[in-house]
Amino acid sequence: MIDLKCTALIIIDMQRDFCEKNGYADHMGLDVEILRKPIANIQKLLTWARQHQLLVVHTREGHRTDLTDLYPLKKQRTSGLKSEIGAVGPMGKLMLRGEYGHDIIDEIKPISGEPIIDKPGYSAFAYTDLELILKNRDIKNLMITGVTTEVCVSSTFRQATDLGFYCITVQDACASANEDLHQAALKMIEVENGIFGQVMATENILNFSH
C-alpha cells in the first residue's frame, strides 16, 4: 500500500483537441470515441483524489502562439496536412495554447489549486516545471491517467521512473486509438519485476485509503 500523503494524480492531455470531434486527433484520423472511453473512470478518480486531498495535476500538450517552441521534427510530422499544428480548425488553431481546442474537456475541469502543466512535448516533464511542483509537495508516487497510452502517458511514466517517482498507471483510465498499442504499452510497465511501476484498475485504486 502506498502513502497517499505522498501521492499525486496526474491527468494527461484530456483536451478537446484529443477528446472531441473537430480537434487535432479527429483531424489526424484517430477514433475520438475510443479516446473518450477513460472519461468516466478519470471522473471517479478525480472525485476520490479530491476527497482524499491528493495533489491533482492536469497537463495540456500544445504550443506557443508563435510556434517558437515547436521543434522541427514535430513540425515536420504534420506539415502540409489537415492536422498541421497551428492550422485553423472548428475549435480554433490546432494544438495552440489559448485556443478553445487546447483546453481541458468540461467533464474533467480543474478546480482552484490543481496545477495545469502546459507542455510542448510528449512527456509531462520535458521543458516543464512538473518535477519542481511534485518535489515541493514531497510527492513520491504518481497515479497516471489520460491519453494516449503509448505516447504521452508512456513518455511520462518512463521519465518519472528515471526521476525516482513510483508510478501506477491506471489501465482503464488511459486510452489509445489503437487497442494493440494500448495493451503493449501497459505490458511493458511490469516487465523485469515492474521496471516502470505497476498497472492497476480504477476500482482497485478507489479502495485505497489513508
* pLDDT tens string 123-178: 999 999 999 999 999 999 999 999 999 999 999 999 999 999 999 999 999 999 99
Q: Compute the half-sphere exposure of residue 50: CA atoms within 13 Å on the CB side of its CA.
A: 12
Cα-Cα-Cα-Cα dihedral sign, residues 188, 189, 190, 191: positive
Q: Supply 174's cell numbers.
A: 488511459
128 lies in some domain: yes
Question: What are the pLDDT digits (tens) for 44-55?
Answer: 999 999 999 999
Give CA torsion, residues 179, 156, 43, 201, to 10 deg. Answer: 60
Least confident of 11-15, 86-90, 105-109, 136-140: 86-90
Is the residue at 100 inside a domain? no
Helix axes 179-189, 154-162, angle to 10 degrees: 10
Residue 41 lies in a domain: yes
Looking at residues 97-122, what average pLDDT do you find? 97
Cis check: omega of the bond before 202, within 30 degrees of 0:
no
Amino acid in position 27:
H
Residue 170 lies in a domain: yes
**Catalytically annotated residue among 26, 37, 119, 167:** 119
Q: Is residue 99 part of a domain?
A: no
Mean pLDDT to the nearest integer, 43-70: 97
Nearest Cα neighbor of 118 from 168, 176, 179, 62 is 62
Look-up: residue for cell 482552484? 112
pLDDT at 27: 86
Annotated catalytic residue 162: no
Q: Which domain holds residue 125?
A: 4-20+30-62+105-206
Residue 200: inside a domain = yes
Residue 78 belongs to some domain of the structure:
no
Number of other CB atoms surrounding residue 119 within 10 Å: 23
Bridge partners, residue 89, by sequence: 92
* pLDDT over 60 at 210, yes or no: no
Residue 156 lies in a domain: yes
Catalytic residue among 19, 152, 167, 174: 152
Lowest mean pLDDT, pick from 75-79, 96-100, 136-140 = 75-79
Q: Among this protein's residues, is 119 annotated catalytic?
A: yes
Residue 77 C-beta-side C-alpha neighbours within 13 Å = 6
**Per-residue confidence band for 78, with pLDDT thresholds at 50, 70 and 90:** confident
Q: Which of 13, 17, 26, 118 is catalytic?
A: 13
Report the pLDDT value the prediction gives residue 10, as an integer from 0 to 100. Answer: 98
Res. 6 pLDDT band, cuts 50 70 90: very high
- Report the percent of the chain where pLDDT is more than 70: 99
Angle at 56 between CA 55 and CA 61, to 5 degrees: 140
What's the mean per-residue pLDDT of the chain? 95
| pTM, entire model | 0.96
Number of domains in the chain: 1
Domain containing 196 — which CATH number? 3.40.50.850
13 included as an active-site residue: yes
